Amino acid sequence: MAGCEGKSDTMAVDPGGGFEFELLGPARMEGASSKVLWRPGPINVALQRAARTRLNHEASLADVAQALQSRYQNGEVDGELQTSACRLAGVPAQCFVGAIRRGGRESIRRGWIVEGADELVLLEVIGDASATEEVNEQVDLIGSTMHWTET
């Protein structure tokens, strides 16, 4: 991957060039710039980008978080999700924490929604309920090692 020479195998580098952070362990990166997945052990770290369009250009981070939360409230997603204003490496964000149930299994979901250059960025850590400790450790590690490479 261009721009990643010399990075450790536990460093997650945003292919879009916006940020980098440490992972709990070595991880394979999958995907392209709009959807990326790192798999460090029993958890996944997912990055999704959504371009700002004429339909969402005025939506605040709180509006976006509320739209995500409403998918749970409306029954589109089986589970719970709570959102709140927060900061990620000094940048305003909306944090979220919740659970998703599928096929009798429960997954834990924690992450952030932040503004990018003309886009919204969702960064989340997901794992089975049995990996809750690893999910929480990875969230803490992202919070303490996130480095913005673009402002």
pLDDT digits (tens, 9 = 90+) for 46-89: 999 888 887 777 889 999 999 999 999 999 999 999 999 999 99
- pTM strictly above 0.85: yes
Amino acid sitting at position 65: A
* E-strand stretches of the chain: 11-13, 19-22, 28-31, 35-39, 43-51, 79-88, 91-102, 105-116, 119-128, 147-148
